[in-house]
Amino acid sequence: MRKLRLIVLLYVLAGAAAYGFASPPKDHATPEDLLTTHNPVGRRGGRLVVSQHAEAKTLNPVLAVDRPSREVLGMLNADLIHINRLTHRTESALAKSWKVSRDGKQYTLQLRRGIRFSDGEPFDSQDVTFSFQVYLDKKSNSSQRDLLMIGGKPIEVAALGPYAVRVTLPQPYAAGDRLFDGIAMLPRHLLEQGYREGKLGQAWPLTATPAQIAGLGPFRLKQYTPGQQIALERNPHYWKADSKGNRLPYLDDLVFLVLPTENAESPRFQAGDTDIISQVGVKLFEDLGKDASQKYRLQDAGPGLEYNFLVFNLNDDVAGRLPAIEREQKWFKDLAFRKAVSQAVDRQGAVNLVYRGRGTALASHVTPGNPAWMDSRLQPRPASPEQARKLLASAGYGWNSEGLLHDRADQMVKFSILVSSNNQQRTVIANLIQQDLTKLGMQVTVVPLEFRSFVQRVLETHNYETAVMGFASGDTDPNGEINFWLSSGFNHFWNLGQKKPATDWEAEIDGLMEKQLTTRDQKARKKLYDRVQQIVAEELPIVVIASPHILVGSKLKLKNFEPAILGPYTLHNVEELFWEE
């Protein structure tokens, strides 16, 4: 019996020893390389409740494409290099520092040592290489893959040691450090097996238990209540600390409450059930401001990056397929016609009516929210129907006895403006444009369509004449919009799927965008992008109208609240938010 006990003990010891040697070195002993923040020091505790218009669809960072999922995942995960939402500059995150090679192709990143995932497991370069392997793998169906492809080739990531990685770009890439923003680092210890078995797509659904999920963000999953809320709790291993060395975040809990409409959201905010209200419509913003008993502050963060515009259908593929639209394209392809439309639209009127002054009339697609890249020489012109009429008359258009406009072939100028009925503000813009164009004798109808039908017509079938749309890049850098401006880009709305540039000016934009992509000198890049803005303002494939301000609200007792014009507008510094006593 004693002999048996000895054998069992030896087995246990041998097993424990074998486990200790075989498993990756546990880094618990390495001192943590915490990032110190500089905002006012706060106090621990409390719960923050924020609302979302829709429920997140997944907790898997590889698959998430919808905004609610990304908002939640932003709280659960962290990136290597981060864009500061207030300064718009890159700053250290999981990578403590980085160096760029002279040719601009290699980034060497030094990782923070001793930091751990929310489940207590250490983070090192193996997690980084694994993360990029997953994102770049076609089978993962990750939306991040496109961002990590440069010139059609993937970036390469190699570990240089447990806390250093080298990222090699296929070609020099201006602002390459911005590539890393928003790319969540994944826990290899939890996801590698599923990935090898081809089951990564099934990992981390909303129904996953908290023990199955780990990240490097300020919070970790606590509880999911279907259709109602996602509750997160403080990550005790988070890698940031305040200036007094207190580990962040301050808040104990963060709750995302599903409130599908602004109509549902505002009473809950006024009642104090939610603590932050984000992307508030201007009407609601003003109404909230009238509440005398308010225990909240409302903030106008200024012009955002969103711009709303009228787009002409210049798609070449309608030829022979949609004869009515092909017929009307002869007006839309006429620069004088586009200029007349632009000249007739009352942009300041749109700002007054739609945004009640909390918006900006635009001359180009770069808004005043992005002063570093805006070509300030371009200024919006006041509406002038007279000038517009002169332009049309000089281009051979005429008016019948009833004052209705006809083209050179005596065809009446009659077309529709498509707009998403889900977006009230854009519907008002469309009606405003319609009214302005009626003054020119154009017969214009506004067609509000349910969002999916709208998208299908504009992006897939191209069965529309003109449309009012909005676009907002996630970054201030021009590269964030490259797919909008490149003639081959998947967001080149006015003429999608071009194999080669359809016009000379699109070819010029292609050249400028590609050149700025590889130019590392900031001034030279700005000059190139200024020229892009000038071409767009001259050629008018889109008639840019106005940009709304970012309007938010938060409870008065919530401190360190600093709304940004880059998303996430209110929670970008969630780890520093705290409740005043």
Partner 1 sequence: MRHIDRQLDAPYLMRHKRTIRWLVGFLLLLHLAALLAGFLAPYSPTAQNREFPYAAPTRIHFVDASGHFHLRPFVYGMEQSSGDRQIYTADSANVHSLRFLVRGEGYSLAGWWKSNLHLFGVDAPGKVFLLGTDAYGRDQFSRLWFGSQISLVTPLVATVISLGMGVTLGAMAGFWGGWVDEVIMRIAELFLAIPWLYLLFAVRAALPLSISPVGAFLLLVTLIGTVGWARPARLIRSVVLTTRQQDFVLSARAAGASSGSILRQHILPQTWGVVVTQAAILIPQYLLAEVTLSFLGIGVPEPTPSWGNMAGSVQQYSILTSYWWMLAPVMVIIPVMYVYDRLAAALHEPVKSSA
What are the percentages of helix, strand and coil residues in the chain, rounded to 5?
35, 20, 45
Residue 421's CB is within 10 A of a number of other CB atoms, namely 14
> Does the protein bind partner 1 through residue 305 (CB under 8 A)?
no
Q: Which residue among 206, 395, 447, 482 contacts partner 1 (CB under 8 A)?
A: 447
Nearer to partner 1, 352 or 483 (CB): 352
| Least spacing, CB of residue 426 vs partner 1, in Å | 13
Specify the amino acid at residue 255. Answer: V
| Least spacing, CB of residue 454 vs partner 1, in Å | 11
> Does the protein bind partner 1 through residue 278 (CB under 8 A)?
no
Nearer to partner 1, 108 or 435 (CB): 435
Nearer to partner 1, 435 or 483 (CB): 435
| Least spacing, CB of residue 564 vs partner 1, in Å | 24
| Least spacing, CB of residue 416 vs partner 1, in Å | 4
> Does the protein bind partner 1 through residue 311 (CB under 8 A)?
no
Token couple for 460: 């897939």
Q: Which residue among 443, 491, 503, 518 contacts partner 1 (CB under 8 A)?
A: 443
| Least spacing, CB of residue 315 vs partner 1, in Å | 16
Q: Is 152 exposed, middle or buried (0-12, 13-18, 19+ CB in 10 A)?
A: exposed
Q: Which residue among 142, 266, 274, 560 contacts partner 1 (CB under 8 A)?
A: 266
Nearer to partner 1, 145 or 457 (CB): 457
- Residue 97, classed as helix, strand or coil, is strand
Question: If you write DSSP's letter for every residue of 422-473 in order, what string do you get?
Answer: T-HHHHHHHHHHHHHHHTTT-EEEEEEE-HHHHHIIIIII---SEEEEEE--
313 close to 324: Cβ distance less than 8 angstroms? no
387 close to 336: Cβ distance less than 8 angstroms? no
349 close to 548: Cβ distance less than 8 angstroms? no
Pick the stretch among 98-106, 180-188, 365-373, 444-452 that binds partner 1 (CB under 8 A).
Answer: 444-452
Residue 257, strand partner residues: 51, 229
Q: Which residue among 92, 168, 352, 387 contacts partner 1 (CB under 8 A)?
A: 352
Nearest to 349 by CA among 382, 378, 387, 376: 382
> Does the protein bind partner 1 through residue 268 (CB under 8 A)?
no
- Cis peptide, bond prior to residue 380, ω within 30 of zero: no
Specify the amino acid at residue 464. Answer: Y
Q: Which residue among 48, 95, 449, 486 contacts partner 1 (CB under 8 A)?
A: 449
Token couple for 316: 């070449």
Nearer to partner 1, 223 or 445 (CB): 445
Pick the stretch among 52-60, 193-201, 429-437, 501-509 that binds partner 1 (CB under 8 A).
Answer: 429-437
Residue 97: alpha-carbon gap to chain centroid: 25
Pick the stretch among 201-209, 374-382, 420-428, 561-569 that binds partner 1 (CB under 8 A).
Answer: 420-428
Under rule CB under 8 A, which residues in 317-346 are in contact with partner 1?
A: 346
Distance CA 79, CA 95 (A): 8
Q: Which residue among 39, 168, 421, 491 contacts partner 1 (CB under 8 A)?
A: 421
Nearer to partner 1, 118 or 278 (CB): 278
> Does the protein bind partner 1 through residue 356 (CB under 8 A)?
yes
For 32, which DSSP code? Answer: P
Nearer to partner 1, 66 or 291 (CB): 291
Q: How far is CA 197 from CA 139, 166, 192, 193, 194, in A?
A: 12, 27, 9, 6, 5
Q: Which residue among 416, 461, 503, 518 contacts partner 1 (CB under 8 A)?
A: 416
- Residue 70, classed as helix, strand or coil, is helix
Vertex 290: Cα angle to 287 and 295 (nearest 5): 105
Nearer to partner 1, 432 or 536 (CB): 432
What residues make contact with partner 1 under the rule CB under 8 A?
262-263, 266-267, 281, 283-284, 286-287, 289, 346, 349, 352-353, 356-357, 414-416, 418, 421, 424, 428, 431-432, 434-435, 438, 443, 445-449, 453, 464-465
